[in-house]
Structure 1
Amino acid sequence: MQVKEIMTKSPRTVTPDTGLLEVVSLMCLYRYSGLPVMEGEKMVGFIAEKDVFHRLFPTLEDMMSDGLGAGDYSNMMDKYKDVVNLKVSDLMATDVITVSPNQHILQAATTMVRHKFRRIPVAEAGVLQGMLSLGDVHKAIFQANMAGSKTATPPVAVGM
């Protein structure tokens, strides 16, 4: 099974000039873990939740010079308001790792696991084709192996 068979074909995108407040709102409301950054038809980066969170934490240099310790987590949380006033271009990754729409889904999943990604852009010749999540891969494998199987256990309703 190929990536193009299971990917999201029209993913939500942002531009380098998009404010982070809009991006983090999308992340929180729609549970996006990351979004491709586009300039016209060209993908120029990727912004992920981890990029936002990395900005909250002090660098090793800051910790050594300021003596920040475990008790300073409240101050780190307060920095969030400063971070969301930035633009995507201030935090986005520009060395974007992608997978091909023609790759086998397990080859794409291997790339995702190796880089600790939950979501990855699907591109061909630098042109964004879609997005793939580990959930997409898992669902496809489940359906391919368990659909119509007598060994599949039906889901159990919890909390009813």
Structure 2
Amino acid sequence: MLVEDVMTRNLRTAKRTDSVRSVAVILCTNKISGLPVVEEDNKLVGIISEKDILNGLLPGYRTFLHDPLKQRDFESMEESYEEILSKKVEDLMTARVFSVSPKDPILMAASQMDLHRFRRIPVVEDGDKLVGIVSLGDIHKAIFKRELNL
């Protein structure tokens, strides 16, 4: 089975200049955990996820290295969420994106997700044109249905 057989083709995307607030609304109201970030002609330039947004609230790795025993007021960090929401997508997105082709086998896509520890991967053609997304759930359901002749 190929990625093109199970991928989602009609998907929501974000632009670099969109507000994080607008992305958070899409994520929460549609019960999804991330959006591909595209430029003109659907050129894939990044991913913005719930994890990226929440990481904006957390102290950086260097802060912990500098003073690992310092007590932190994690509850007051939540109050900076409004500041995070006013940022642009490009401020928090992950720019290093792994992707697969529609013609790749689905288990190759699954192995890439496992290797890089994520649950979905963008599908691109011609090097960087976003044409869909595939998740571990999509792959599992497709194999399950095939094996049970559903």
Q: Above 0.5 in TM-score?
A: yes
Code of the aligned partner of 2:17: D
Contiguous gaps of at least 5 residues in structure 2: none
Query: Which residue matches 2:92?
Result: 91
Q: Larger C-alpha radius of gyration, 1 or 2?
A: 1
Task: Count how many residue pairs are aligned between Structure 1 and Structure 2.
Answer: 147
Query: Which residue matches 1:143?
Result: 145
Give CA-to-partner distance per residue, 1:4-25, whole Å, 9 cap, x none. Answer: 0110012111100110111011
Deviation at 1:57, TM superposition (A): 0.8
Code of the aligned partner of 1:79: S
Deviation at 1:32, TM superposition (A): 1.7
Give CA-to-partner distance per residue, 1:79-121, whole Å, 9 cap, x none. Answer: 2111111010101111111011111111101101111111111
Deviation at 1:34, TM superposition (A): 1.2
Query: Which residue matches 1:158?
Result: none
Report percent identity of matched pairs. 40
Instruction: Say whether residues 1:120 and 2:141 are aligned partners.
Output: no
Paired with 2:84 and 2:14, the residues of 1 have a C-alpha distance of 17
RMSD of aligned residue pairs (Cα, Å): 1.7
Paired with 2:68 and 2:102, the residues of 1 have a C-alpha distance of 47
CA contact (8 A) 1:3 1:102 kept: yes
Query: Which residue matches 2:105?
Result: 104
**Aligned counterparts, 1:7-156, within 5 A:** 7-41=7-41, 42-63=43-64, 64=66, 68-70=70-72, 72-124=73-125, 125-147=127-149
